[in-house]
Chain A
Amino acid sequence: MAALFTLWALLRREIALAWAGGVATPLGFFLGAATLVPLAVGAERALLERIGPPLLLVFAGLAAIMTFERLLQADLEDGSIEQWALAPWPMEVFAAVKAIAAVIAIGGPITLTAAPLAIALQTPPAAAPVVVLAVGLALAAFYGFGLLGAALTAGVKRGGLLLALLVLPFMTPPLLFAAAAISAAAAGQSSVPPLTLLSACVLFAWTLGPFGAGAALRAHSES
């Protein structure tokens, strides 16, 4: 019980830091890019209906990638990771808390704005709940892999490009399943099978992410 209270307190602090550290940039990028789509491709209904949701997912993924580099950077520079290595909690817990906070503080607003944007891009309003679910789960998977990438490239000068290259292949399956879920919902079919596979991606990302990141950060603090 006391442990849960402590974890909640640690998480609240990381959410506050992630929120203050710049939800505006990725959210602004996501909103801006989505608004530009109909201007660039024209207001043809059938075309927008087809390419709108996949583009939203791509923009959400890119917005997430923008934030990966900062995920652990401040903690590395200010010596926090060194302190975590001497804490009674395993490094995995600190890493996971960091990424969960990013999913909530940065992924949350992007997920919520995805629904009105999808409707604006001619997705049937009935599919909006599936859009929210698919974008939210996809972002959760992205951040699981992003955490691993951020930990592996911690301490690499200008490691952002390397990080993106590392993480992109892992981001492909959740992206595919999320897009399949939305197009199924828009066509009036069941979106359960792709959403199930998407959830499996989330589970995979979150078993790989925190443990890989914990090991990488331990190795980093011991060098």
Chain B
Amino acid sequence: MIPVEIALDGLCVARGGRVLFPPITSRISAGAFVAVRGANGAGKSSLLRAMAGLLRPEAGAVQLLRSGQRLGADDARLSCLLLSHEDALKPQRSPRQEAQYWALALGGAPARVEPALSAMDLMAHADMVCQHLSAGQKRRAALMRLALTDRPVWLLDEPIANVDGAGRTRLESLVEGHRARGGIVLAALHEAWAVRDAAVIALGAA
């Protein structure tokens, strides 16, 4: 993984014609953890989607920089891994099958499927179909995608919702490992989550 930096340059996102938050200008360096906080509807998810290039900013821009060079749209897209509210798991498939699928679809290595399953402690349920998993287990199966690829920017939308203490600890170790390799983690959070050296982007009303 080649680390990147993120430059938010007066970023402003609108939904349904309404500007969600005042322009954000910020620089996020390699290895950073940024908690995105704000009330319901403050625009946390929209900010993450805009950073993944899935939402066109109303104003300003998101730039990904690799050793000072600005990345093109395709490279920027392939540098981001988005974990949204939806788990992207098929109810009739097992976590192992879904891990194999997403490893191939997202350009990860099939050899990382088993380590990813054990990283989120899913080995005992790896061959159960997802519709029989609990909400927390499904969330863990979705979080497993983090360990399938080598993308430098993780955009996590409420990653710890429904996840129990042990699962949070495992996610923390994934996050810390990612940061140690120079990765960036942005997480939209409601709950308190103790992560060392966490920066905060607080979204208020525009």
**Given known A17-B90, A86-B78, contact A10–B84 (CB-CB < 8 A):** no
Chain B hits for A80, CB < 8 A:
88
Of the residues B80, B88, B104, B106, contact of A78 by C-beta under 8 Å: B88
Interchain CB contact (< 8 A) of B86 among A77, A86, A89 = A77
Hey, which chain B residues are within 8 Å of A94, CB to CB? 105
B88 in contact with A79 (CB, 8 Å)? yes
Does A86 lie within 8 Å of B82, measured CB to CB? yes
A: interface residue count bin: 20 to 34
- Contact of B97 with A13 in the complex, beta carbons under 8 Å: yes
Q: Using Cβ atoms and an 8 Å threshold, which residues of chain A touch B41?
A: none
A189 lies within 8 A of chain B by Cβ: no
Task: Output the nearest chain A residue to B81 by Cβ-Cβ distance.
Answer: A86
Give, as a whole number of angstroms, the nearest-CB distance from A77 to chain B. 7
Look across to chain B and name the residue whose beta carbon is closest to the beta carbon of A94.
Answer: B105
Distance to closest chain A CB from B83 (angstroms): 9
Query: In the complex, are the beta carbons of A10 and B107 less than 8 A apart?
Result: no
Residue of B nearest to A12 (CB): B101
In the complex where A74-B90, A87-B105 touch, is A79 in contact with B85 (Cβ < 8 A)? Answer: yes
CB atoms of A79 and B80 under 8 A apart: no
Task: Give the shortest distance, in Å, between A202 (CB) and chain B (any CB).
Answer: 26
Residues of A within 8 A of B100 (CB): 9
- The reply on B102 being an interface residue by CB < 8 A is yes
Q: Tell me if B25 is interfacial: C-beta within 8 Å of chain A.
A: no
**What are the residues of chain A within 8 A of B78 when measuring CB–CB?**
86, 88
Known contacts A20-B92, A86-B52, A86-B80; A78 and B101 CB within 8 A of each other: no
Task: Flag if A17 contacts B105 (CB, 8 Å).
Answer: no
| B76 → chain A closest CB, angstroms | 10
A85 to B85, CA, bound (A): 16
Q: Find out whether the CB atom of B82 lies under 8 angstroms from the CB atom of A89.
A: no
B interface residues, Cβ below 8 angstroms from A: 52-56, 77-78, 80-82, 84-90, 92-93, 97, 100-102, 104-107
Please give me the 6 A-B residue pairs with the lowest Cβ-Cβ distance, nearest first.
Answer: A79-B86, A88-B107, A79-B88, A80-B88, A6-B104, A83-B88
Q: A10-B101, A79-B88, A83-B102 are in contact. List 4 more A-B contacts (CB 8 A).
A: A79-B84, A80-B88, A87-B106, A94-B105
26 A/B residue pairs, CB under 8 Å, sorted by A? A10-B101, A13-B97, A13-B101, A17-B92, A17-B93, A21-B92, A78-B86, A78-B90, A79-B85, A79-B86, A79-B87, A82-B54, A82-B84, A83-B102, A83-B105, A86-B77, A86-B78, A86-B82, A87-B105, A87-B106, A87-B107, A88-B78, A88-B106, A89-B107, A222-B56, A223-B55
